[in-house]
């Protein structure tokens, strides 16, 4: 009799657990059957009235039913919870075609982006960054770089004058002289900053930027210079690009060379950027002229060196394809956003 | 410099390059003489020939057109329709035949004009790009050979190079000089120009006496007298030669002096001998404030440093620069005195520069002219003058050359070349190169003593010869190695690294980096800044006198900037009016000041934000608070804890008086934060708020970066307490927060204002401020008693300093 009752309770419970529409209802059923005063607990009380020999069997049966119901309950509960979370998430749907934030990320100016990239490449070769004053003594801008007064080499750079003895530096090369005077060789430095030329047209700004390197050591050759620049070109513009030296003239280097690299746009096959030549002029370089060492009071030929320099705006024009140099000082957000 | 290949061919055989001038251009460019442009007229005028109009009829279908039968030589007659009106039957004309491409990429094709076949075009000079205006067709002289290519007829069968000659290569500033270089590069023989002059028995000195007073500035002076010349137009060959390199023809004698200069690189001057007073030439330095009128009619006030060519009364030329108006060759000149001299380079450059008189002569002298050829080249000119203007050349030319210039031999070791170029230098090759350069060579053991020719001013040291070796062998032979560096690398410039760090920070905060010129306009900047002296109080010294440029490019940019705000403000205006209605910019850079002796450069940081948030879910925080929060984050980024915002008076002229504060960092005021002045916004038609902040970067960032120091974490829960105070609406809440912090002491973690209320529920002029105080402790759990003590202390302090009452 009691066994039948136990079975009824079980069947009823299983039916109810299946029937429950949500976890609260399910829980109520759980209390109803498995709770402290639930049906199963009540059934357990019947055990007292059973003959002694039947007790263990009945007890076992009750425990079996209890275990089964608890298992079924747990499964049903987990199913219901899952369903509920699913429906909750559907109701909490957010339209992600909308965007919340209107703030933009900030952008580096291409001039500084290029400067920093060049600096980072050269830093890997052990070059330390240097800066210097923009209002420079005539001596540092010209004479110490072997450009005497009334020398035609001065015509190569249109100069802004501040007073009788000061100019706005026309190149970053005075940084070399400061470094030679203030630091002890061997030296590897990279100098950068704004420079000034009294010249403004479609391809020149009166205030632009240069970056240059100097290496002073006991034995320095043109091959070292070419190797260094070739490494730089491949790192900066991409692998596979070639470097070409052409003889040129700078008062502070001897021998001097102009540096061309194979056009990064067309890879040398000819395009409008390289004027169909396959080559792009990127800067000047050479072995440091012994006269420069004399001015800076560095012993030559014990110490020798090379130096090279690039125009930062020009590098940015080549690298990013900027079509007009006059964009650089305008700071139009539409321009800056592209970098 | 413009070079004519035809002219070059007079001295070195370059005939093979007429078909392929690019090959020669490459050779020169690789040798350091960059060919910047090649003009090939013969190619431009392909299929353009001399034609003869044998029949001219009316076009059957058009009144204004004519139908011509044109003989184009080689037995061919072409029918051509023509719209011009100035030609007649029998005229010789220029015919562009199918296949010709005229300027503007205008290709000539066979066509039909109003149903009539036309096989070419009769041309005006304008259509050929040879004139800017033309009235009808160019009618050629009857002597023109029918069928001849027009370029040959007009002497355009030449190739021109635009050569970039670097200042060290003065020896290549002439056709002969370049021919000499090509001879060396291609191992070819060069020819000297013809000099066959017969002289009369009379002596030059019988007509003109010569004295050189300053032989330092005039190392050599040669002169010769020619009587009975006939000044006229130059013959065609001379005119065409000059025109081919872009020089105008003046008269036969002047043209010869120019021709010889372009040929040999020696500037010459011809005086009208009858205008030389006292029959004498004196070479002397000018007297201070002496006057001189150039042949271009410029009046010069001399400084006293210029070298002059004078007669017994007056200056007749500024040596090496320009002749005088008083003594030049004119159409009535009969007798001339030819000057061929050598003047000191620096002196000529100084005279030319200081008076702004730039001439071909001064250009060459200031770079260097060969002193050994002065007389030979003079006689080349005398020979040519006799060819084109007749006359009798007098014997006994002047030649004052007291100290013949010599070149010092250069000592060089082959190992030096090997070491510096990075490849093994070959002695045989070296000898060959040096001889090719006209150097005298002497072998001393394994070394050489090399005496360069007088025309190579740039060969003075062994390194100059190293360059010559590398150049002649070809820079492409230089290999690529990386130098070994034994020493540990030096430290980077701290300023640069700091700026890089800051740039990263500001970009993460949404600011884009700007670059403005270091220049400013004095008037604009003064108006923007107002009283320069007030900025000291703000930690941003502005020198009253700006650093002025002596030669500004334009008055728009005539000083060095003293602040960045002015320029970023302009960037904001331009951006706003280009449709960028909101944005954030920052700039780091130098501003300049003028001290009594030196010039100062100071690092500044400037930030600006403009525009209102727009769109769904956008933050409605006032712009100036946004900027303030960026600055608070900046201080935290830089590990600066002692930073506050303090009131300073008077406020900068360009800022809103009620929305402006100073940055007070570690005991110093280092800049401002504020909204732009409403009048400036209004004047520039900026309809959105603009916030500006400028900081003294030298003071913000110490040389040594602050080390990060870890503090162990509190193991105890923080405790929050909320308060509401009622206070005077005009008083700053900051004072209240200061008291809270003070009361909490070492238990202070944070305080946050979460509500401010003004309105009906409060008396007029009062506001309620709700603030949450967060407390923590590192060594114990905070008890109620402790919290109570802090709270009471805070309330009392706040009441005392601000008059605020706890809201009940």
Residue B703 has pLDDT above 70, yes or no: no
Q: Cβ separation of A224 and B617 shorter than 8 Å?
A: no
Over residues B528-544, the mean pLDDT reads 94
Lookup result for tokens 């850079």: B589
pLDDT tens-digit readout, A149-204: 888 878 777 899 999 899 999 999 999 999 999 999 999 999 999 999 998 888 89
- Which residue of B lies nearest to A197 if distances are taken between CA atoms? B553
Interface with chain A: mutation pick from B515, B555, B619, highest number of A CBs within 10 Å: B515
Residue of B40, B342, B3, B361 lying closest to B178 (CA atoms): B3
Residue A277 has pLDDT above 90, yes or no: no
Residues of B in contact with A116 (CB under 8 A): 500
Using CA atoms, how far apart are residues B216 and B319, in angstroms rounded to an integer? 13
Q: Where are the domains of chain A?
A: 2-91, 110-336
Q: Cβ separation of A103 and B169 shorter than 8 Å?
A: no
- Which residue of A lies nearest to B473 if distances are taken between CA atoms? A247
With residue A288 as reference, give the H or E element that holds it: strand A279-288
Over residues B323-337, the mean pLDDT reads 95
pLDDT tens-digit readout, B730-742: 999 999 999 999 9
With residue B665 as reference, give the H or E element that holds it: strand B655-665
Using CA atoms, how far apart are residues B673 and B675, in angstroms rounded to an integer? 7
Q: Cβ separation of A255 and B471 shorter than 8 Å?
A: yes
Fold of A110-336: BirA Bifunctional Protein; domain 2 (3.30.930)
Interface with chain A: mutation pick from B348, B488, B499, B513, highest number of A CBs within 10 Å: B513
Joined tokens for residue A299:
């012993």
pLDDT at B426: 95
pLDDT at A270: 83
pLDDT at B435: 94
Residue A2 has pLDDT above 70, yes or no: no
ipTM above 0.95, yes or no: no
Residue A127 has pLDDT above 90, yes or no: yes
Count CA atoms closer than 13 A to B140's CA, side-chain side.
23
Lookup result for tokens 């007669």: B311
Residue A126 has pLDDT above 50, yes or no: yes
| Nearby residues of A225 by Cβ (< 8 Å), 6 or more positions away | A215, A257, A285, A286, A287, A306, A308
**Which B residues, 337 through 376, put their C-beta within 8 Å of a C-beta on chain A?**
345-347, 349-350, 353, 366-367
DSSP A236-266: HH-TT--EEEEEEEETTEEEEEEEEEE-TTT
pLDDT higher at A42 or A228: A228
β-strands B92-96, B121-122: how paired? antiparallel
Predicted confidence band of residue B515 (pLDDT cuts 50, 70, 90): very high
Using CA atoms, how far apart are residues A161 and B592, in angstroms rounded to an integer? 15
Residue B808 has pLDDT above 80, yes or no: no
Residues of A in contact with B584 (CB under 8 A): 104, 106
Gap between the terminal Cα atoms of chain A: 86
Using CA atoms, how far apart are residues B504 and B586, in angstroms rounded to an integer? 11
pLDDT at B706: 78
Predicted confidence band of residue A325 (pLDDT cuts 50, 70, 90): very high
Residue B192 has pLDDT above 90, yes or no: yes
**Measured between CB atoms, which of A222, A226, A332 is closest to B578?**
A332
pLDDT tens-digit readout, B618-637: 777 899 999 999 999 999 99
Residues of B in contact with A192 (CB under 8 A): 496
Predicted confidence band of residue A102 (pLDDT cuts 50, 70, 90): low
Over residues A264-274, the mean pLDDT reads 84
- Which residue of A lies nearest to B573 if distances are taken between CA atoms? A332
* Coil, strand or helix at A135: strand
Percentage of residues in chain B having pLDDT higher than 70: 100
pLDDT tens-digit readout, A300-309: 999 999 999 9
pLDDT at A1: 47
Lowest-pLDDT range, B36-50, B298-312, B549-563? B36-50
Neighbours of B12 (CB within 10 A): 22
B626/A contact by beta carbon, under 8 A: no
Lookup result for tokens 């499964």: A75
pLDDT tens-digit readout, A206-243: 999 999 999 999 999 999 999 999 999 999 999 989 99
Over residues B307-312, the mean pLDDT reads 96
Residue B146 DSSP code: T
Bridge partners (DSSP) listed for residue A243: A261
Using CA atoms, how far apart are residues A206 and A190, in angstroms rounded to an integer? 23
Q: Cβ separation of A304 and B353 shorter than 8 Å?
A: no
Interface with chain A: mutation pick from B321, B350, B412, B478, highest number of A CBs within 10 Å: B478
* Coil, strand or helix at B713: coil
- Which residue of B lies nearest to A337 if distances are taken between CA atoms? B512
pLDDT at B620: 78
Q: pTM (2 decimals)?
A: 0.85
Using CA atoms, how far apart are residues B9 and B175, in angstroms rounded to an integer? 9
Residue ranges and CATH numbers for the domains of chain B are: 2-42+158-186 (3.30.56.10), 46-153 (2.40.50.140), 199-400 (3.50.40.10), 412-477 (3.30.56.10), 494-700 (3.30.930.10), 719-806 (3.30.70.380)
pLDDT tens-digit readout, B55-108: 998 888 888 899 999 999 888 899 999 988 899 899 999 999 998 888 888 889
**Which B residues, 443 through 482, put their C-beta within 8 Å of a C-beta on chain A?**
458, 461, 463-464, 466-467, 470-471, 475-476, 478-482
- Write the burial class of residue B754 (CB in 10 Å: 0-12 exposed, 13-18 middle, 19+ buried): exposed
Residue B617 has pLDDT above 90, yes or no: no
pLDDT at B130: 79
Residue A260 has pLDDT above 80, yes or no: yes
């Amino acid at each position: 009799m009691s066994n039948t009752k136990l079975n009824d309770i079980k069947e009823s419970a299983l039916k109810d657990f299946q029937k429950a529409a949500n976890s609260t209802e399910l829980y109520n059923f759980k209390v109803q059957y498995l709770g402290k005063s639930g049906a199963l607990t009540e059934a357990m009380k019947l055990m007292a009235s059973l003959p002694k020999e039947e007790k263990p069997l009945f007890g076992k049966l009750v425990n079996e039913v209890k275990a089964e119901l608890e298992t079924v309950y747990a499964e049903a509960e987990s199913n219901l919870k899952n369903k509920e979370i699913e429906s909750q998430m559907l109701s909490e749907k957010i339209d992600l075609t909308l965007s919340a934030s209107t703030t933009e990320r900030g952008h580096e100016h291409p001039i500084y982006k290029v400067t920093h990239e060049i600096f980072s490449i050269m830093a890997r070769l052990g070059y330390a960054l240097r800066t210097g004053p923009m209002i420079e003594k005539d001596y540092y801008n010209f004479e110490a770089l072997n450009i005497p007064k009334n020398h035609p080499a001065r015509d190569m750079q249109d100069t802004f004058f501040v007073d009788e003895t000061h100019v706005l530096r026309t190149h970053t090369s005075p940084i070399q002289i400061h470094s030679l005077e203030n630091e002890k060789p061997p030296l590897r430095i990279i100098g950068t900053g704004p420079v000034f030329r009294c010249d403004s047209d479609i391809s020149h700004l009166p205030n632009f930027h240069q970056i240059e390197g100097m290496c002073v050591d006991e034995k320095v050759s043109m091959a070292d210079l070419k190797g260094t620049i070739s490494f730089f070109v491949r790192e900066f513009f991409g692998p596979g690009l070639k470097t070409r030296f052409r003889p040129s003239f700078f008062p502070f280097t001897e021998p001097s060379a102009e540096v061309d690299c194979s056009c990064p746009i067309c890879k040398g096959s000819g395009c409008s950027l390289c004027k169909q030549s396959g080559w792009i002029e990127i800067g000047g370089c050479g072995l440091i002229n012994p006269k420069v060492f004399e001015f800076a009071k560095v012993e030559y030929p014990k110490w020798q060196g090379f130096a090279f320099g690039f125009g930062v705006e020009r590098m940015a024009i080549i690298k990013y394809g900027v079509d007009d140099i006059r964009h650089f000082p305008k700071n139009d957000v539409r321009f800056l956003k592209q970098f | 410099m413009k070079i004519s290949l035809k002219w070059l061919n007079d001295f070195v055989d370059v005939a093979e390059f007429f078909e392929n001038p690019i090959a020669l251009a490459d050779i020169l460019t690789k040798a350091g003489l960059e060919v910047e442009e090649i003009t090939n007229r013969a190619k431009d005028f392909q299929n353009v020939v001399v034609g003869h109009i044998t029949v001219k009829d009316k076009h059957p279908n058009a009144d204004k057109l004519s139908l011509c039968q044109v003989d184009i030589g080689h037995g061919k007659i072409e029918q051509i329709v023509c719209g011009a009106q100035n030609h007649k039957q029998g005229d010789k004309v220029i015919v562009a035949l199918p296949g010709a491409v005229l300027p503007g990429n205008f290709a000539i094709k066979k066509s039909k004009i109003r149903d009539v076949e036309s096989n070419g075009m009769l041309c005006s000079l304008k259509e050929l790009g040879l004139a800017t205006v033309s009235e009808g067709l160019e009618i050629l002289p009857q002597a023109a050979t029918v069928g001849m290519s027009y370029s040959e007829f007009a002497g355009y069968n030449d190739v021109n190079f635009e050569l970039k000659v670097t200042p060290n290569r003065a020896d290549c500033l002439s056709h002969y000089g370049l021919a000499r270089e090509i001879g060396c590069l291609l191992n070819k023989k060069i020819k000297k120009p013809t000099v066959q002059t017969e002289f009369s028995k009379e002596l030059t000195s019988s007509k003109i006496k010569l004295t050189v007073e300053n032989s330092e500035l005039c190392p050599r002076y040669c002169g010769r007298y020619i009587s009975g010349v006939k000044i006229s137009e130059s013959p065609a060959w001379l005119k065409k030669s000059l025109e081919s390199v872009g020089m105008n023809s003046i008269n036969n004698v002047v043209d010869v002096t120019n021709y010889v200069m372009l040929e040999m690189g020696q500037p010459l001057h011809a005086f009208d001998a009858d205008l030389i007073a006292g029959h004498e030439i004196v070479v002397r330095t000018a007297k201070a404030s002496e006057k001189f009128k150039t042949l271009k009619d410029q009046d010069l006030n001399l400084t006293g440093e210029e070298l002059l060519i004078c007669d017994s009364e007056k200056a007749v030329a500024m040596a090496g620069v320009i002749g005088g108006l008083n003594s030049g060759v004119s159409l009535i000149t009969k007798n001339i005195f030819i000057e061929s001299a050598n003047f000191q380079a620096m002196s000529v450059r100084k005279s030319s520069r200081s008076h702004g008189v730039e001439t071909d002569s001064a250009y060459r002298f200031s770079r260097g002219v060969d002193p050994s050829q002065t007389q030979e080249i003079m006689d080349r000119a005398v020979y040519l003058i006799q060819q084109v203007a007749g006359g009798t050349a007098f014997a006994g030319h002047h030649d004052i050359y007291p100290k013949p210039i010599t070149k010092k031999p250069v000592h060089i070791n082959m190992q030096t070349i090997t070491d510096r170029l990075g490849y093994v230098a070959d002695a045989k090759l070296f000898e060959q190169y040096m001889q090719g350069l006209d150097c005298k060579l002497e072998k001393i053991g394994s070394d050489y003593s090399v005496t360069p020719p007088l025309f190579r001013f740039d060969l003075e040291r062994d390194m100059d010869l190293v360059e010559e070796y590398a150049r002649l062998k070809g820079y492409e032979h230089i290999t690529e190695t990386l130098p070994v560096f034994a020493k540990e690398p030096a430290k980077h410039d701290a300023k640069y690294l700091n700026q890089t760090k800051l740039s990263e920070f500001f970009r993460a905060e949404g600011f884009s980096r700007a670059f403005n010129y270091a220049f400013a306009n004095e008037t604009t900047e003064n108006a923007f800044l107002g009283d320069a002296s007030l900025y000291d109080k703000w930690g941003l010294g502005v020198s009253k006198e700006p650093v002025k440029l002596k030669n500004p490019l334009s008055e728009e940019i005539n000083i060095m900037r003293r602040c960045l705000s002015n320029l970023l403000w302009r960037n904001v205006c331009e951006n706003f009016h280009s449709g960028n209605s909101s944005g954030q910019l920052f700039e780091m850079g130098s501003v300049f000041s003028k001290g009594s002796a030196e010039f100062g450069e100071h690092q500044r940081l400037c930030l600006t934000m403009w525009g209102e948030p727009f769109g769904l879910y956008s933050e409605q925080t006032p712009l100036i608070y946004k900027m303030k929060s960026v600055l608070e984050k900046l201080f935290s980024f830089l590990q600066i804890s002692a930073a506050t915002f303090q009131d300073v008076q008077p406020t900068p002229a360009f800022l809103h008086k009620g929305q402006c504060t100073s940055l007070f960092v570690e005991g110093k005021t280092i800049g401002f934060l504020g909204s732009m002045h409403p009048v400036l916004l209004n004047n520039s038609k900026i309809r959105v708020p603009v916030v500006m902040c400028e900081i003294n970067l030298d003071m913000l960032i110490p040389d040594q970066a602050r080390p990060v120091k870890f503090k162990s974490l509190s193991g105890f829960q923080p405790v929050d307490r909320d308060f509401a105070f009622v206070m005077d609406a005009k008083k700053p809440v900051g004072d209240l927060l200061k008291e809270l912090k003070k009361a909490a002491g070492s238990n202070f973690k944070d305080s946050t204002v979460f509500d401010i209320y003004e309105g009906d529920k409060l008396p007029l002029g009062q506001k309620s401020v709700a603030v949450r105080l967060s407390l923590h402790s590192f060594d114990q759990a905070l008890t109620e008693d402790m919290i109570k003590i802090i709270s009471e202390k805070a309330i009392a302090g706040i009441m005392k300093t601000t008059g605020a009452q706890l809201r009940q």
